[in-house]
Structure 1
Amino acid sequence: MLSSRIFIWQRLARLTPEEVLDVIPLYHLLWAEADPADIAFADQHATHGNFRNWARLTAHTHTALQRTGRTRVDQEVLRWAFSRLGPTG
């Protein structure tokens, strides 16, 4: 049924590490204020240039920041968020 509703399937290539550093800070304010080294760390350990993974990580990272009262992403927050992604993260 789904394929009958899809006019054109779109395949998105993974973002390169350079594209991640350009695009992800524009994607969400959470990343706009993050250290580029932390964005690269997240990409290397969890998202692997996959935008869907970035969306999931953003949601979990936002939750972590709210729960801890922190205002900026750091590697401790990211590690907590990674643990919520499951084996496909």
Structure 2
Amino acid sequence: MPVSGRRDRFALTAELLEELADHRGRDPRERLLVVDEAQQLNRECIEFLRYLHDHRLTRFALLLVGGDGAWKVLAKEPMLRSRIYRRVVFRALTGDQVCELIPRFHPVYADAPPELLLFVDDHFAHGNLRDWAAFTATAVELCRAAGRDRIDETLARNAFALHGGTRAAAATH
């Protein structure tokens, strides 16, 4: 008998299948299951994802996201390899892409000059959206504390300091 409040894997699987089958009037092609850190998946996990995806009641897109080694892990499993529609490799944003995207990323950057965006990118984010997200959270807090709604170089430098300096400086220590 399961411990109070805990269910066994069969009950959890049934609940998951029910959730993936319950479209609540939505187009089933609009359902997306995202698995991050796909490089950590083992054969049993991959087989379980295949089971869920191929189940007669479910219809959803499966997005496997991973860092170094993800493609190696996924490609060696024939049951999954034949189901992979496309491998997409993400590269760091270029300076031009940063200047185009980041002002739309968050209102704190709406009127930021390209020089400031490139300054932050060169010293901290290096075209990486995860780093931009971390920087943005800190920049928003600093703006709020200062009663401002836009970033400037001083605020950017303060954000760098709260993150332990620039990424280049942190990498050398």
TM range (shorter): 0.7 to 0.9
What are the equivalent positions in structure 2 for 1:4-19 lying under 5 Å apart? 4=45, 8-9=64-65, 11-19=89-97
Aligned length, in residue pairs: 89
**Counterpart for residue 26 of structure 1:** 104
Q: Does residue 1:38 correspond to 2:94, yes or no?
A: no
Instruction: Name the one with the larger helix percent.
Output: 1
**1:77 Cα offset (Å):** 0.1
TM value normalised by structure 1 = 0.83
Q: Between Structure 1 and Structure 2, whose CA radius of gyration is higher?
A: 2
Percentage identity across aligned positions?
Answer: 33
TM value normalised by structure 2 = 0.46
**1:33 Cα offset (Å):** 2.3
Instruction: Name the one with the larger strand percent.
Output: 2
Q: Does residue 1:66 correspond to 2:144, yes or no?
A: yes
**Counterpart for residue 49 of structure 1:** 127
**Unaligned ranges ≥5, structure 2:** 1-37, 50-61, 67-88, 168-173
Q: Which amino acid aligns with 2:119?
A: F
Higher RCO (CA < 8 A, seq sep 6+): 1
**1:30 Cα offset (Å):** 1.0
4+ runs deviating over 4 angstroms: none
Q: Partners of 1:69 and 1:7 in 2: how far apart?
A: 40
